[in-house]
Chain A
């Protein structure tokens, strides 16, 4: 199947700083990518849907000014957590796919804000 990578796999940052997470499709062009957040022992919660060359669509309750998503090319989407706080500590996962098709998931990024 298709391969999606994420970088970094783990990151620790200080409160108030910003962190960028990259999601790359390695062997296919991804016009749509999804960003999820996973809390311990909870399901994946969709944060936003990003389409190449256009603005991301955020789910209700997700602050778009805090979680900046850029999908500038068909192989790269980035999530930037701005002014991070300890409550932003979580596991962030990206995927690519489309209507009725299998989604391909990255391995996730563990963010810890101290």
Chain B
């Protein structure tokens, strides 16, 4: 079955540091890949997505590239801010089974940015 393996946290960085959160996946079909973010006290929000190989999703300075050859979708940001402190979830949606709208999530990575 489908699965997502995500870098375990927690991750603590200083402000303006470079961020990478690793994510790899296994899927039987042609998945779309997502990064969701959960700020304290709020629901998960879509951060970025990519729907096919070599696509790059980007938003709020974050980027992730869909790498089919390495089955990866690593999240990166060049200079993090305190406001980026949150829990980040990598997820996939596999469209091999038409009508399967389910998301498969990684375990989440808690990121804390220190001023």
Contact A4 B101 (CB under 8 A): no
Name B's A-contacting residues (CB within 8 A).
Answer: 4, 6, 32, 36, 41-46, 49, 51, 89, 93, 95, 99-103, 105-108
Chain B residues, CB < 8 A from A43: 4, 6, 89, 105-108
Chain B residues, CB < 8 A from A104: 43
Contact B105 A44 (CB under 8 A): yes
Min distance, Cβ B5 to any Cβ of chain A, angstroms: 10
Interface hub of B43, B95, B103 (most chain A Cβ within 10 A)? B43
- A-side interface residues, number (CB < 8 Å): 24
Could you show 29 A-B contacts with beta carbons less than 8 Å apart? Answer: A1-B45, A1-B46, A4-B43, A34-B101, A34-B103, A41-B107, A43-B4, A43-B6, A43-B89, A43-B105, A43-B106, A46-B103, A49-B101, A93-B43, A93-B44, A95-B43, A99-B95, A99-B99, A99-B100, A99-B101, A100-B32, A100-B95, A104-B43, A105-B36, A105-B43, A105-B45, A106-B43, A107-B42, A108-B43
